[in-house]
Structure 1
Amino acid sequence: MSFSENFLHFIWQFRLYKTLDLFCIEGEPLRIMNPGLHNKNAGPDFNHAKLSIGETTWAGDIEIHIKSSDWLLHGHQDDPAYDAVILHVVYQYDQPIYRKDGSRIPVFILEHLFPEHLLVHYHQLMNMINRFPCEKQIREIDPVIVSGFLSRMMVERFEQKSALVLDKLIRLTGDWERTFYHFMAKSFGFKVNEIPFELLADALPLQVLRKHLDNPVQVEALVFGQAGFLSGAFKDEYPRKLKKEYLFLQKKYGLKPIGVGAWRFLRMRPQNFPTLRLAQFCGLMVRSDRLFSRVLEIEALPDLVQHLGNLPVNPYWLNHYHFQKETKKVKLQLGKRSVYHLIINVISLFLFSYGKYADQPQLINRAIKFLEQMPAENNVIIDWYRDSGLIVESAFFSQALLQLNKYYCAQKKCLNCGIGIKILKK
């Protein structure tokens, strides 16, 4: 049987294998709660998976190969990004694989767990599936009906994400500033480096950072040090100064940095490298002692864009994309699309969440108004709906379409969708 790893990705992503009485190669019972999100960038094939092996629950990455020895063939043993793999999914098992610390990676074998006719029909099936169920019919529905249901989707999206905000708020003893700090840090990862930014926020408590906001160099030392970028020997004066400050502050607060291998640089323009994002994050932190309170005070979108797009970033990064690695001049500030990303995914969400929490409907209205005033996002999913004839004018509707696609279209829940019901009746 000949096939590519993409076919196994398909089997894993859509759980087309036998799902009962699963075991790892060592005989431990395996239960897969969430197969994870398919990763299109460098690193393991699936991120954010959740499963249990024996009595232990794990969350992390999944790597998939035809043979287990492909791990070595692809050079993953030398890449720290693969140390977070919690399960190695293979079609055939031909040798054990170990992490850099010597621990053995659990293996799950797919051979004999799915019917072989799936492979025969795989390409035909892919060609037959529409990108979403009503792709050919949605243009026939009254735009007022579509717009009305998408408005419901946007509120639903806010409600779901607000639940995550409130859960984090509870774990942070009701501190909105610390909760906002964690979500803002995570969003600064811009998908590819979302997890290491989140780990950084855990490793560098806001209460520690706050004590040094009047000293930008110490803020930069804490951020880059806790991110793991100050462990080497440096020739440039700037990183040497940061390292000296960091070693003192690390000892003072008993800090433990995250592994530098968590950060991803591959397939990215230098403008999007995590080092520059960290420098911009430092600028944001220095900008205000009470960042969330400051955000609540800003009522106009242009003022908010100006606040996020004009940060005090250290000029060292004008011609560096890594410590001691010079490059042609890069733009220090966040681009407008990046600023909109932060407003869409963090600030509007927190305005909505806090508005409900504190019974301040004007904040909820402001969150919606900001989304209506920003341009629609551009990604492959939004393009699907545009290609089908929908006019997507603002971030309000692009966000609503992402909600619709993830929780209705992708799961084919047409009977729970106002658009789907209208099509079925028609």
Structure 2
Amino acid sequence: MTEDFLQYLWKYKKFGFTNLKTTKHEELILQQVGTHNVENSGPDFFNARLIIQGQKWAGNVEVHIKSSDWYVHNHENDPAYDNVILHVVWEDDVEVYRNDNSIIPTLQLKEYVKEELLVRYKKLFDKNAQQWISCDKQLPEVSDFMLSNWQERLYLERLEKKSTLILELLEDSANNWEAVLFRLLSKNFGLKTNGIAFLSIANSIDFAVLRKCTDHLGQIEALFFGQAGFLEINTEGEYFNTLKKEYRFLKNKFKLNTNGVEPLHFFRLRPSNFPTIRLAQLAMLYFKNHQLFSKVINSNTIDDFYTLFNVETSEFWQNHYTFEKESKTRKKKLTKSFIDLLLINTIIPMKFVYARSMGQNPEEDIFELISKLPFEKNSIISNFADLKVPIENAMHSQAMIQLKNTYCDQKACLKCAIGNYLLNGE
């Protein structure tokens, strides 16, 4: 038994509430359970309305497993609890008094909860069960209709979470959407291994400086490779020396520094994901698209984006993965699978936030776009697929990642639509 579960029972009236009595055998009529206090200190529910033995009460409700927890938590010394009108507990083991020595009415909830609900609760929260998530043995029982609705809500939650970073970057850049797009794209070009390092490189470059370089691919490459520290190595070659000379000029002209730039990693990366290749592709993207943000906003189909991000490296990188060693000639274009990741993690969240900033409701268009992308392939998605969860597109996979990270891993089943479905036996 947990306090979270007791709060759930009270909040959603998951008990027989028509013939309630306090532990002093006083008639209790529940009019309003109150507003759940989720984030702030103080009683668990504010502004509840009750009638106890014919007397109307308005105030707060505190929930505990045992009555004695009131004293364990030192509520008797906290003025915030002076206005508690009802103590809701699972087990009443001691009387609780207000500061004026009047007894706080207590409702012992275990007398009013159906046994079948407790059985479902214990099954869902079985600590001894060896399972990937709490409900993995029960998940196949959940209807596809309920899962589909919950996936849509989960995906919106994930978009909201990604929106937080975008809004923070907008504030830092005085609402420069182009600059924010550059930072986010940089982060995602670095993927999981080098994402933070790529973001630190982007943060070290004032976007106004990049804008002044976009007419010359060599300048953009010199800017990116120089800020990344790649031009400090000991090697020779016409291309390398040209970039190094160009970077010295740009560094002096724009007072560039690399303070805060994180080191880049090659270890265990496929050559196509080497940071050198990803920086060269990012440079080409900005060389070909001087107003990239406007093009992103005005693109509305998957094919539009595949065309927009149809870029490859400059000639040198067609037969190199690093500055030092030549390799077999191969064009290194952005693949569709990589572009899909950019759309999922950068482009669609940016379009979502921008549309909202313009007073629009973008949900329908966003759902249409994300639903046309293939789902991601990772261990989370594989495990949910094994549990027969329908995963047909990127909206589904993003939703299930949100579910696993925010609900399953946190044991937040009582806040999850699936957990509620199973508890209610629907």
Aligned to 1:23: none
Matches within 5 A, 1:267-416: 267-308=268-309, 310-361=310-361, 363-416=362-415
Tell me the SS of whatever aligns to 2:371: helix
The answer (yes or no) to whether the contact 1:376–1:396 under 8 Å persists in 2 is yes
Letter in 2 for 1:417: C
Letter in 2 for 1:408: Y
Tell me the SS of whatever aligns to 2:162: helix
Aligned to 2:179: 178
C-alpha separation in 1, matches of 2:343 and 2:271: 23
Tell me the SS of whatever aligns to 1:283: helix
Q: Does 1:231 align with 2:235?
A: no
Q: How many residues align?
A: 300
Matches within 5 A, 1:194-209: 194-209=195-210
Letter in 1 for 2:184: F
Aligned to 2:251: 250
Aligned to 1:240: 241
Deviation of 1:364 (Å)? 4.0
Larger radius of gyration: 2
Matches within 5 A, 1:186-225: 186-225=187-226
**CA shift digits 1:246-303 (9 cap, x unpaired):** 0111111111136887111011111111100000010111121221111111121111
Aligned CA distance change for structure 1 residues 265 and 163 (closer, same or farther; 3 Å): same
Matches within 5 A, 1:18-29: none
C-alpha separation in 1, matches of 2:191 and 2:128: 31
C-alpha separation in 2, matches of 1:382 and 1:203: 35
Q: Which has the larger displacement, 266-275 or 129-138? A: 129-138
Tell me the SS of whatever aligns to 2:213: coil
C-alpha separation in 1, matches of 2:317 and 2:273: 12
Deviation of 1:311 (Å)? 1.3
The answer (yes or no) to whether the contact 2:200–2:261 under 8 Å persists in 1 is no
Aligned to 1:265: 266
Aligned CA distance change for structure 1 residues 241 and 390 (closer, same or farther; 3 Å): same
The answer (yes or no) to whether the contact 2:201–2:262 under 8 Å persists in 1 is no
The answer (yes or no) to whether the contact 1:271–1:331 under 8 Å persists in 2 is no
Q: Which runs of 5+ in 2 are unaligned?
A: 1-125
Please provide the CA RMSD for this pair: 1.9
C-alpha separation in 1, matches of 2:350 and 2:260: 30
Tell me the SS of whatever aligns to 2:171: helix
Letter in 2 for 1:389: K
Aligned CA distance change for structure 1 residues 258 and 230 (closer, same or farther; 3 Å): farther
C-alpha separation in 1, matches of 2:173 and 2:347: 18
Letter in 2 for 1:193: N
C-alpha separation in 1, matches of 2:203 and 2:128: 44
Tell me the SS of whatever aligns to 1:306: helix
Aligned CA distance change for structure 1 residues 158 and 209 (closer, same or farther; 3 Å): same
Aligned to 1:424: 423
Deviation of 1:140 (Å)? 1.1
Aligned CA distance change for structure 1 residues 193 and 127 (closer, same or farther; 3 Å): farther
The answer (yes or no) to whether the contact 1:227–1:259 under 8 Å persists in 2 is no
Identity of aligned residues (%): 38
C-alpha separation in 2, matches of 1:241 and 1:196: 24
C-alpha separation in 2, matches of 1:328 and 1:297: 38
With normalisation by structure 2, the TM-score equals 0.68
